Every structure is written in structure tokens, then in C-alpha cells.
Amino acid sequence: MYKYRTYHKPKRILVTGGAGFIGSHLCERLLNDGHEVLCLDNFFTGRKENIIHLLNNPRFELIRHDITQPILLEVDWIFNLACPASPVHYQYNPVKTIKVNVLGALHVLGIAKRVKARVMQASTSEVYGDPEIHPQKEDYWGNVNPIGIRSCYDEGKRVAETLFFDYMRQNKVDIKVVRIFNTYGPKMSLNDGRVISNFIVKALKGEDIEIYGDGKQTRSFCYIDDLIEGLIRMMDFEMEVGEFTNDYTKSRLSGFPGPLNLGNPTEIDILSLAKKILDITNSKSKIVHKKAPPDDPRRRCPDISLARKYLEWEPVFSLEEGLRKTIDYFEKIIERQYTKG
């Protein structure tokens, strides 16, 4: 049985992007485990509905703030999640996306340096770009287009990682970097634009399911509860701030800042995903094909050996189980919308 290290000691924890999909699940879990939570969000893609049930909790505080602007706060831990994650949303204002990643990282690192907080960056599998190595391991440097329409996100997250490691080496800031692979679950918005929510919503409404390209591109989907457990275990993983070596075999177990892959290693192609969702929802929706967006990665699957070894973590929810829970959620939301007219 996995044992937490200092997690159960109550802490004051800042979650940037706390009203978003992952952030709101994280806030809820941290509150349930006895922590004080500061949820910071500018509500670009986040929603009050995601956290409304937490507002009466005296250990919960909501701060409407844009993390591209500096802010002074006193906290023990910081999870830096603020950044639109769906391609539709991060491409809406690409310059702003770069600002969130770069200025946002500088601001949370500034807080961490000043108050000696531990700070985690929510990085992404997108740092691997369209990978030539499969499955992707943390020591793979990636194959990223620096000037494409996904670059604001991919390169923004890569610079954020660089800043985290430079603050660790230069200022001895206690950092954690996790590379999150495609994650899904309840509380994604109806108009999130990512594949699972798009397919489920279309299937439930009986509308055409649109596959971009031939549907042979693959992804590996992690259910939200599994991801949250991984984020917490990594954050709780004690490190001694000091010399850091990028050679994982030499680094002391206690000195592991990442980067660490968190995701479900079960790979599925997008066409099979569409068929699975049609099957579970018993939907009559048709599958149609649309032009593939530029730079759409062909394959993506995490190698999670490091997470298994250091955190004794691996996903426990199968895709089928996770999809059923997510479909239940969207069914209720759509039903409510119809009732409201």
C-alpha cells in the first residue's frame, strides 16, 4: 500500500487554473484531504459551476486573477495549471497562450522563491510534438514545430519547463514538472473542443461525429481520478534541493523533480474511440471525416515506468469505465439544458 510522506499535514495550497477541468477536481480533493485551498482563475475556460459547491467551505478561497500579472501570496504548495488546454481554446489567442505559459511560470516561480514553496508545473505530452520515439519516455527531447499553429502551446510549455529547471538550478526552488497526457472526465465543458467531450456530446445529441483526418492517429486517455492521484503523489514526493543530475539512474530517490509522465498507457486510434462511444451511448450518430488540422501528432502514448517506480502509480480506471462515468455526467448536463429550454 502506497504511503504519503507529508501530504496529510495540512497545508495552504494555491491552484492556478483551479476552476478548470483538472483544477476543480484537484481543489475538491485537496479540500477533502484537509488542506486550505486558494483557487486562482481568470475564467477564460474555467467555470464557476465547477467550484460553486466549494464556495461555502471556510478552507476555500476563490481569487479572480490573470496569472500573466504578478501576485503576492503566501502558500506552502503551488500547482500551476492555468492555461487553456484544448487546441480550439489555446489557438484562439496564441499570443496570450504563450504569455500564460511564460509569464505565468515566472510569476508562480517568483512566489515559490520568495516564500520557499514547492511548485508544480502542469506540462504536457505536447512537449514531445509529433514523436519519433514510441512510447514517449521522459528523456526524449521531442519533435516540435516551432512556427506552427500548435507551437504557442507546445513551445510555451517547453519554455515553462526550462524556467522551472533554471529556477531550481539557479535559485534552489523546490520544483516538480509533470507531463500530463490526454485526460478526460466529468466537468469538461460541453464546448471544450477536445475529442472525448466532442464525441460524447455529439453521440448523445444524435449529431454527426467528426473525425479529423483518417482517424488512424492515436492517443492514450487517462481518467481524471487517476491523474489527480498521480499529481498528488508527485507533489508529495520529498526532494532535497541541491545538485540535480538529469541521469535518472544516478539521481537520489528523494531528489526527483521530474519531468514525469502521467497518463494511461493504453493506446487507441481515434476511429476506434468514436465507435466505442457510439456503442456505449447506443447512438445512431454517423461518423464523418473532416480535414486533419496541421501538425496533429500521429501517435501518442506515455511510458510510465518512472511513475510506477517512484510513485507506485499507475491508472486503475479502464477506458470503458472512465467513458461510462463521463457519459453519465454529460447526459445529466444535456438533460438539464433541455429541461431549461
Catalytic residues: 153
Figure out which of the listed residues 183, 197, 220, 264 binds ligand NAD, where binding follows CB under 6 A.
Answer: 183
Size of the site for ligand UDP (CB under 6 A): 14
Peptide bond into 259 cis (omega under 30): yes
Q: How many CA within 13 A on the CB side of residue 172?
A: 6
Tell me how far apart the 2 most distant CA atoms of the chain are, in Å. 61
| Choice from 136, 182, 220, 261 touching ligand NAD (CB under 6 A) | 182
Residue 46 found at the interface with ligand NAD (CB under 6 A) = yes
Q: Which helix (H) or strand (E) holds 92?
A: none
Residue 274 belongs to what H/E stretch? Answer: helix 270-281
- Hey, what's the torsion of the CAs at 232, 237, 242, 248, to 10 degrees? -100
Candidates 7, 13, 23, 117: give the one binding ligand NAD (CB under 6 A): 23
Q: With 0-12 CB in 10 A as exposed, 13-18 as middle and 19+ as buried, what is 319?
A: buried
3-state secondary structure at position 18: coil
At 167, list the grid cell: 529556477
Indicate which single residue of 92, 140, 212, 248 sits in contact with ligand UDP (rule: CB under 6 A): 212
Q: Position 80: which residue type?
A: N
Q: Is 68 in the site for ligand NAD (CB under 6 A)?
A: yes
Comparison of 66 and 155: residue with beta carbon closer to ligand UDP: 155
| 3-state SS class at 225 | helix
Q: Is 21 in the site for ligand NAD (CB under 6 A)?
A: yes
Please select the residue that binds ligand NAD; options are 14, 39, 51, 83, rule is CB under 6 A.
83
Binding to ligand UDP in span 215-274, by CB under 6 A = 217, 219, 270
- Name which position in 13, 30, 67, 311 contacts ligand NAD (CB under 6 A): 67
- For the beta carbon of residue 183, count every other beta carbon within 10 angstroms: 24
Q: Which residue's CB is nearer to ligand UDP, number 30 or number 301?
A: 301
Interaction of residue 99 with ligand UDP, rule CB under 6 A: no
Please give the distance of CA 107 from its chain centroid, rounded to a whole number: 19
Of 19 and 119, nearer to ligand NAD (C-beta) is 19
Chain residues binding ligand UDP by CB under 6 A are 86-87, 182, 194-195, 198, 210-212, 217, 219, 270, 293, 296
Chain residues binding ligand NAD by CB under 6 A are 16-17, 19-23, 41-46, 66-68, 81-85, 100, 122, 124, 180, 182-183
